[in-house]
Amino acid sequence: MRHLVSGRKLNRTASHRRAMLSNLAISILDKERVTTTLAKAKEVRGVVERLITYGKKGDLHGIRLAARRINDKTVLKKLFDDIAPSYKDREGGYTRIIKINDRKGDNAAMSIIELVGRGSPDPVRKNKKKGKAKQQPKTESSAPTEAASEKSSTAE
């Protein structure tokens, strides 16, 4: 039974899992939107939320705690100077997970994880129709001349 067992193993060793979640968190903070599997997105959500909370505190201890996970100085600076201050009035819930279509090769459940209020407003949704809409033939050249002739006939 799985009573009180928290977290996912993601079929990796502990060190590989820790490194993968750190790298994924760095990518989310850097790009503000990442496409990954649903299980990884659910697992990294807590890491990113905790890092943003450290950034909101802004003290030396918070910087050192965040630097344990973020080994890229530019992303660490972006977290404390740009991302965290934009969430000063929000008490958690800094990320959003959007389910998208399954991956083609192995049918894995895929999702987009993004920072709330910072990503692009129109994500690719699941079950959205694919393909191009049929375009009607363009008749722009004849339309202005007909409209101009109608205006001149009504003016007389």
Residue matched to tokens 């690719």: 124
Inform me whether the pLDDT recorded for 58 exceeds 80: yes
pTM of structure:
0.74
pLDDT band at 20 (very low <50, low <70, confident <90, very high): very high
- What domains are defined for the chain? 14-128 (3.90.1030.10)
Q: Does residue 32 register a pLDDT over 80?
A: yes
Please state the rounded mean pLDDT for residues 92-114.
Answer: 97
The Cα 9–Cα 15 span in angstroms is 11
- The token pair that represents 95 in the structure block: 């990320």
Sheet containing 95-100: order of strands:
33-37, 110-115, 95-100
- Widest distance between CA atoms in the chain: 88
CA angle at 20 for the pair 6 and 57, rounded to the nearest 5°? 75
pLDDT at 118: 78
What percentage of the chain has pLDDT greater than the value 90? 71
| Residue 153 token pair | 């006939």
147: tokens are: 């409209």
Per residue in 106-154, pLDDT tens? Answer: 999 999 999 998 755 555 555 555 555 566 666 665 555 555 556 556 6
